[in-house]
Amino acid sequence: MKKLLILGATACEVDLVRRAQALGYYVVVTDDHDDWTLAPAKYVADEAWNISWSDIDALKAKCRERGVDGASAGYSEFRVENLIKLCAELGFPCYATTEQLEITRDKFKFKEACRKHGVPTVKEYASPADVDEFPVIVKPVDRAGSIGVGVATNAEELQKAVDYAMEKSIVKRVIIERYMQSVKVDFYYAVEDGKIELISSCDTIPAADNGFERVVQTAWLYPSRYLDAALAKVDASIRRMIEGMGIRYGCIFYSGFVDENDEFVFFECGFRLEGGRQYEYARRRGLMNFQDIFILHATEGTTRTMKRGGGVNPSLKCATVNVYAKAGTIAKIEGFDRIALNGRCSLAAATARIGQKCDDDKAILDKIGIFSFCSESSERLRKDVEKAYSLLTVEDVDGNDMIYDRLDAKRIETHWN
C-alpha cells in the first residue's frame, strides 16, 4: 500500500483524504495544530503529524522515516508552494512548478500572461492616483479566497482598502481594478499529460445584501448559462495560455465576468483544487473525480490508471450553496448530515466549528459550510435547496440565527431559461 502525504488538515482536506483511502492509499496529513478540532482531517487520516506544512526539513526527514511515496496539497497556494519545495527535496512527482504557480497566484503576472495569449482581463489602475471612476475593488496580488479584498466608492475608502490589502499581502503589493457589477463566472479545466478538458463552468449568485461592502458568493450554478458564448469567444485563448504555461497535469480555474453582450473579462485563476469542491458533480456528469489527478500523479507521475465515466451527460445541473456567518460565536451547527442523506446531494459539509467567533467587518465572511445537489431538473434543484435550508440550523450563544444570506431558490428554477 502506497503512502500519500497531504499538506494541510482542514475540513476541506477531509474529502481528499477519504478519496485517497478509497483508491487504496495509506494517507498521512500534516499541519502544526495540536488541537485537532482545528484540523479535522487528522481524525479521518490513517496517520497525522503535528508538523507545519512549511517546515520542509522536518517533513523531509519524517517522510523518509515513515516511507512516504508521494505528497499532495489541496486548497491553498501557500501549501502548493511548499509542496513544490518538498517534492523537489524528496524526488517526488509534482504537478506544478514554481513558475506556473507564480503566474496563477500573482494577479499581475496572471494578467501579463492573459494579454500574451489573448485572454481579456478586467481594467486595472497603476496606483490610487490613477483611479478615474468608482467603485473599484482592491486586492493583495498574492492572496486568494477573497482574503484582503475591499471595495471603495470614494478616495477615502480607497486608501483604507489599499492599506487593508497591503496588510494581508505577503509580498506587500496590491492591485486596484474596476469593480464589476456583471455576472461572475468560473471555468475549471483538467489537464492530463498535456490534454486539456473543460470539466465544469458556473455562474455566481451574490448575497442579496452585499452592497459595496462585501463580496460574499451565496451560490454557484452549474453549468454556466454563458457556456456556449465562452466556448466561442474565450475557450481557445484560455487553452493557449494553459499550453503556454507548460502545464501537463492538474486542474486550473479561471474566474471572470460576463456582461449583457456576452463579453468576458478575467481577473484571476488558481492552479489547484477549487473551493466549490465539484469533483462529485464532475463524476456524476460522466467525467471523473478530478481529485484523482492530484492523488495519482503524486505517487505515479501520471494518471493513466484513473477511472473515467462512460459518457458525459450535458443536461446534468448542479446548485452549490455556500453558508456564511453573521457576527457572533457559534453555539450550534445542525443539519448537514441530514442534507447528505438526499440521493441527489453531491456535497454537504460543515467547515466551521462550535465555539468559533465570527466577525462581519471584512468583505468576506466566515464560512459555516457548503452543500450541493445535482439533477437534470431545475425544479428539483429548487425543491432540494429549499428542503436543505429547512434542515439547517446555525445559532449563536443567544439562540439567534447566524446564517448571513439564504438563496432565493426560485432563482434556480429560472436560471437556465
pLDDT, one tens digit per residue, over 126-146 is: 899 899 999 999 999 888 767
What integer is the mean pLDDT of 287-313? 94
Boundaries of CATH 3.30.470.20 in the chain? 183-415
Which residues of the chain does CATH 3.40.50.20 include?
A: 3-94
Segment 27-34 shows an average pLDDT of: 97
What would the mean pLDDT of 118-127 be, rounded to a whole number? 94
pLDDT given at position 145:
66
- Whole-number Å distance between alpha carbons of 353 and 348: 15
Is the pLDDT confidence value at 11 over 80?
Answer: yes
* pLDDT score of 148 more than 90: no
Name the phi and psi angles at 96, rounded to 5.
Answer: -120, 155
* Average confidence (pLDDT) over 343-358: 96
CA distance 333 to 97: 40
Q: Note the CATH number of domain 183-415.
A: 3.30.470.20
- 363 pLDDT band, cuts 50/70/90, is confident
**CATH superfamily, region 123-178:** ATP-grasp fold, A domain (3.30.1490.20)
Q: Please say whether the beta carbons of 157 and 214 come within 8 A.
A: no
pLDDT at 215 over 90: no
Task: Please list the alpha-helical segments (H only) found in 169-226.
Answer: none
Scan for cell 501549501, then name that residue. Answer: 79
pLDDT in the model for residue 211: 84
Looking at every residue in the chain, the average pLDDT score rounds to 95
Question: Could you give the CA distance from residue 320 to residue 348 in angstroms, rounded to a whole number?
Answer: 10
Looking at the chain, the whole-number percentage of residues with pLDDT higher than 70 is 100
pLDDT of residue 405: 95
**pLDDT reading at 378 higher than 70:** yes
The gap from C-alpha 232 to its chain's centroid, in whole angstroms, comes to 25
Kindly report the CATH class assigned to 3-94.
alpha beta
Q: What is the pLDDT of residue 21?
A: 98
Domain with CATH 3.30.1490.20 in the chain: 123-178
